[in-house]
A and B are shown apart, each in its own frame.
Chain A
Amino acid sequence: MAIRHLLQLEGMEPAAVQEILELAMRFKADVLTADRCKRHELAGRAIMNCFFEPSTRTKTSFELAGKYLGADVVNFQTRGSSLEKGETLEDTARTLEAMAIDVLVIRHQVSGIPERLAARVKVPVINAGDGFHEHPTQGLLDLLTVYEEWGHIAGLHLVIVGDILHSRVARSDLWGFLALGAHVTLVGPPQLLPRDWERPGLRVTASLKSALAEADVIQVLRIQKERQSLVGLPSWEEYRARWGITRDVLGSLREHTLIMHPGPQNRGVEIDSEVISGRTSKIAQQVTNGVAVRMAVLTWVLGGPYDR
């Protein structure tokens, strides 16, 4: 049987997305909210977290997800190691594979690395974020968060605000929500928007106001000061004034509009504290769902059974 990887949501079968979401909901109900008792579905399996880029949330989330299912999870220290820079992919793949692990979870600052490693190793690879290509488990947990609230994705209108061009979260959300029949609007300063994307169900605009009127869900992206996000922008104050989801913006939204943010938030820049703690904010659920989704994904790539 072919190895199941999770590399991107683009092109993924909607049925597979549904399968993972349903699995995640069961894990969430059975493990995370009910007895909080460790299970043994993945007992005896070894999962390697290989993060070539700093990460707290995603890495911890994968670690917990594996441990809740009884797997052994190890973190491969990459910062400062030879693996970080200048090593060929063949050598990286050989090193990782030689450790005889069952699943590789990869984050890398350059797009495409998980996919290229997946072509070279004989175990499932899970993309935990690559460059500004995709972050599929984030896309899945966002889908789960919205699905829990609405019971469906089709027909909903998702608005993603921020530096779309350099965001792997935006790409995974985009493909995931489109695949399940949602409409998606990408909003941000024009220099941070893709210029040439045309797809059914997709709109790209610099005008936040025009997008918000019909939003059912808003995903607020972090303005990453450490990346290119602010290059070519006058100041973060201007960004906030024009694209920030501020307390004033909150007042103009439809009552039911959900607020999400993949974190970590820059309070007072792209999002206000009042919005984070607002009635329709789903930011805390996103984190919980992150663990549930990663449990589901680990089980799914390993084709493991799950019966209560």
Chain B
Amino acid sequence: MTDNGMTGVCLRGVRVIDPFRDVDSRDEDLTVVGGLIVPRDDPRARGCVEIDGRGLWLVPRIVDMHVHFREPGQTWKETIETGCQAAAHGGVTGVAPMPNTLPVVDTPELVEWEAQRGADLGLVHVYPIGAITRQSQGEALADLYFMHQKGARAFSDDGHPLTSSALMRAALTYAATLPAAIINHAEDRQLATGWCNEGPVAEQLGLAGTPEAAEAVMVWRDVMLAELTGGWLHEAHVSTVESLHAIRYAKAKQLGVTAEVTPHHLLLTDDALREWRYDPVTKVNPPLRSKATREALVKAVSDGDIDVIASDHAPHHADEKSLNYQEAPYGISGLETLLGATFTALLEPGLMRPLDLMRLLTVGPHRVLRLSYPGLIPGAAADLTLIDPQRRWVVDPGQFYSRGRNTPLAGRTLVGQAVATMVQGRWVMRDGEVLNAGVSNLHR
């Protein structure tokens, strides 16, 4: 195996899907030395480890830009370490943890600490997202500039909507000067009084429902404020038909607006509540929607109206998810099913070309987080994932590296799975096993 990336690796016969260069090419060879892509005839490539990649896809820089790692403060749910392991296991080379930890990541010191923690682990890239407002309380802007200086890639009060339109206006205006995107969790809390989607399923089960309008009214507001300010808005986990109209409107007007959809909203509907009955494993915010809405989301993604697919990885302890439907927390542990669920929803039915789909997991998040990557050219960092697109596998949360085993996909067969993940030339996962960095790497 590679010795911290110093010995070369040559991946042979892979299908390279590189959205950064708009390339989808079969039977390629790729050589990695010293953590970088090198030309095939590079003298250092001599004696490199040969890997047969036939039948596999090679995709650079898959980034999940919406995860919750719970550290600091709620480490029984997840830590940065277990979260990064889950990412590597899921075939993800970079993650952007949301700042709704305890305390909230709302200072440059916490941003720096989080980034350093990620770097020390040496598993996957960690791109901190800072809070928009102090303690995400929606009352006063946090020090966005100082946080940005220390590596915050975007700002969000995720988990809480930014209710004040005046503050949203200020945030969009100010963050544009950094520049950085404002990521909003759109939800009118006064309208969103339920625990699941409003509709026949909720009505029949006797669970309080929340209408789609609770999200859409704020998405429309945000779009209008993006227009007013010229700022950069990213809507997290869009899940309603009317939100899609707002996003399309924004794009038609060429506003600085991007949007994200989660795999669970693309794959599941509120019928999952009939299947799981009152088990809060299906409780997620925004809630699983109707069949018609799921189809609209799938269509929006396959039509290219959506920029990013992200998991909204929200791990919880089993005890918390064993509470009743009202008391149990929202969220699905999604990092380790990100690729499988996305492929099953979009590739398996033949709705998208692989290159177009992979753009949403690579180029899309890079744009929102203002990350740059040149594509798989000599000199580029060897951050890549090998994927077996045909592999059928049954989701077994017992195999997760995440501490959160909470997923309504448990027991479901998905198609497509990462078989190896490389970050900066080092394998961080092979054949489902996460390879933690050595001590030397931790204390370098």
Contacts and interface: CB of A to CB of B under 8 A. Distances in A.
A308 interface: no
Contacts of B319: 88
A85 B278 contact: no
Nearest to A167: B206
A96 B326 CA distance: 21
B326 A110 contact: yes
B324 interface: yes
Interface in A104-119: 108-113, 115-116
Interface in B96-112: none
Interface stretch (A125-133, A240-248, A289-297): A125-133
Interface stretch (B43-51, B196-204, B365-373): B196-204
B140 interface: no
Interface string B169-212: 00000000000000000000000000000111001111100000
Contact of B206 (A85, A88, A111): A111
Interface string B309-343: 00000000001001111110000000000000000
Given A112-B207, A131-B207, A89 B323 contact: yes
A53 interface: no
Contacts of A195: 198-199, 203
B279 interface: yes
Chain A CB within 10 A, most for which of B199, B204, B277, B325: B204
B76 to A, nearest CB: 14
A214 interface: no
A201 to B, nearest CB: 16
Q: DSSP majority for the A interface?
A: loop
Interface in B190-238: 198-200, 203-207
A88 B323 contact: yes
Contacts of A282: none
Contact of B200 (A116, A168, A171, A197): A197
A194 interface: yes
The winner among B278, B322, B327 for most chain A CB atoms within 10 A is B278
Interface size class of A (residues with CB under 8 A): 20 to 34
Contact of B322 (A88, A194, A196, A197): A88
A120 to B, nearest CB: 10
Interface string A129-151: 01111100000000000000000
A76 B252 CA distance: 62
B322 A89 contact: yes
Contacts of A86: 323, 327
Contacts of B325: 110-112
Contacts of B278: 111-113, 115-116
Contacts of A109: 326
A196 B203 contact: yes
Interface string B258-299: 000000000000000000011100000000000000000000
B203 A110 contact: no
Given A111-B278, A112-B277, A112-B278, A194 B323 contact: no
Given A116-B277, A196-B199, A196-B200, A111 B207 contact: yes
B205 A111 contact: yes
Nearest to A194: B203
A195 B204 CA distance: 11
Given A89-B322, A112-B278, A116-B279, 14 more contacts: A86-B327, A88-B322, A111-B205, A111-B325, A112-B324, A113-B278, A113-B324, A115-B278, A131-B326, A132-B206, A165-B203, A168-B206, A171-B206, A196-B203
Interface of B: 198-200, 203-207, 277-279, 319, 322-327
10 contacts: A85-B327, A88-B322, A89-B324, A111-B205, A112-B206, A112-B207, A112-B278, A130-B206, A131-B206, A165-B203
